[in-house]
Amino acid sequence: MSTIDQSMIHTSMGHTSMTDTSMTEALGRFLDVDVARYKLITVNLANIDTPGYHTRDLDFRAELRRAAAEDSGIEEGGMEEGGLSSASFSPVSRPVRGLMERPDGNNVSVERESLLLAEAQMKFNLGVQLLKDQFHLISAAINSGGATS
């Protein structure tokens, strides 16, 4: 069994490894956007008693496309070029229109936010499971060691 040269695992950037495939990168973006939405939902819930607070949300698909474009260095709508990382990715949230406002001006709905929270949790669990499957495939390829049938 041969040892793997560290230069094969890490690039000069220090962040890319042989486990970085297009699928794992896409799943990472998916999880980044999902976590951003999850945090936004929790902020909405935390502000349920804040007078004048208006519910904010993000367009999951649009943010996922934007994260993918940002990751590939494509400029889209004036975005800066560069790779996606948790530190650099900042989703664009917008006020949600059409929700009923209470007399204090707050329009956060516990029912709506709870449903969105459950949806975000299911998406996260799906993303993690798909990522585990990808790592399992990579592990199986490594463990086969080039054996032929």
Residue 141 pLDDT grade (very low, low, confident, very high; cuts 50, 70, 90)? confident
According to DSSP, the β-strands at 94-95 and 56-57 are antiparallel
Does some domain include residue 91? yes
Does some domain include residue 7? no
Residue 138 pLDDT grade (very low, low, confident, very high; cuts 50, 70, 90)? confident
The answer, as to whether pTM is greater than 0.75, is no
Domain of residue 70 covers 19-136
Q: For residue range 57-112, list pLDDT tens digits in order.
A: 999 998 888 888 876 664 444 433 333 344 456 888 999 999 999 999 999 999 99
Does some domain include residue 9? no
Q: How many domains does the chain have?
A: 1
Does some domain include residue 146? no
What is the rounded CA–CA span in Å between residue 52 and residue 86?
A: 30
Nearest Cα to Cα of residue 108 among 40, 56, 34: 56
